[in-house]
Amino acid sequence: MSENAREAILAAAKTAAQRHGYNGINFRSIGAAVGIKNASIYYHFSSKADLGVAVAARYWQDTASVLQAIRESNPDPIRCLEIYPSIFRTSLEDGNRLCLSSFMAAEYEDLPEEVRREVKAFADINVMWLTQVLADAGMGSAESCERRARAIYTSVAGAQLIARTRLDIGLFDDLILSYREAGLIPTSQA
């Protein structure tokens, strides 16, 4: 099997996890989506947990790259904070998907330990990035920036969840606007 097949398997598993969580990762449906026998998936991934780890790790690594690109292309930290919710909005725009890590976090107790570590890594990279951007914007002490970063991360992820259950991206936008108006997410307008 080629590296292309491995990438196709990861992409199909990511989509399944964003729609149905960790339990949505099943070799039969992924094999059908990729056009291979489900047994062929074992060539690249020895188990569902192994595939779940690869999907979750790739997801947080891709997100870390997106966050880094936002920061590198926007010298103004406030502008970075204004852009931040868009990474969650993109999942809603793409088939009303939920952030993979948010979905898996809801199943946390049932996840294999190695998958749990990757799910936590996603939250950690978001909070670390937000903390640094808030600090760069002069939003307070390291402790207060970290506390606010956790609040922003959970609020944006929660807005995505509520909007998904209502099939309404406009609701996501309205919630983000309310966070900005309340001062949770700083803006250049404030």
pLDDT digit string (tens) for 76-89?
999 999 999 999 99
Residue 82's closest CA among 189, 186, 190? 186
- How crowded is the C-beta side of 53, counted as CA atoms within 13 Å? 12
Per DSSP, 23 falls in state G
CATH number of 53-181: 1.10.357.10
Could you give the C-alpha distances from 36 to 2, 4, 21, 32, in angstroms and in order? 12, 12, 22, 6
| 3-class state of residue 97 by DSSP | coil
52 in Cβ contact with 115 (< 8 Å):
yes
Give the model's confidence band at 1: pLDDT under 50 very low, under 70 low, under 90 confident, else very high.
very low
Delimit the domains of the chain by residue range.
53-181
Structure tokens at 11: 């992409």
Give the model's confidence band at 27: pLDDT under 50 very low, under 70 low, under 90 confident, else very high.
very high
> For the CA atoms of the chain, what is the radius of gyration?
18
CA 90, CA 93: separation in Å to the nearest integer? 5
Q: What DSSP string describes 101-161?
A: HHHHHHTGGGS-HHHHHHHHHHHHHHHHHHHHHHHHTT-S-HHHHHHHHHHHHHHHHHHHH
Could you give the C-alpha distances from 143 to 2, 158, 180, in angstroms and in order? 47, 22, 21
| Predicted confidence (pLDDT) at residue 172 exceeds the cutoff of 60 | yes
CA 146, CA 165: separation in Å to the nearest integer? 29
Structure tokens at 18: 């964003």
Neighbours of 132 (CB within 10 A): 18
pLDDT digit string (tens) for 108-156?
888 899 999 998 999 999 999 999 999 999 999 999 999 999 999 999 9
Give the model's confidence band at 102: pLDDT under 50 very low, under 70 low, under 90 confident, else very high.
confident
The reported pLDDT for the residue numbered 59 is 87
Q: What is the mean pLDDT of the chain?
A: 91
| 3-class state of residue 35 by DSSP | coil
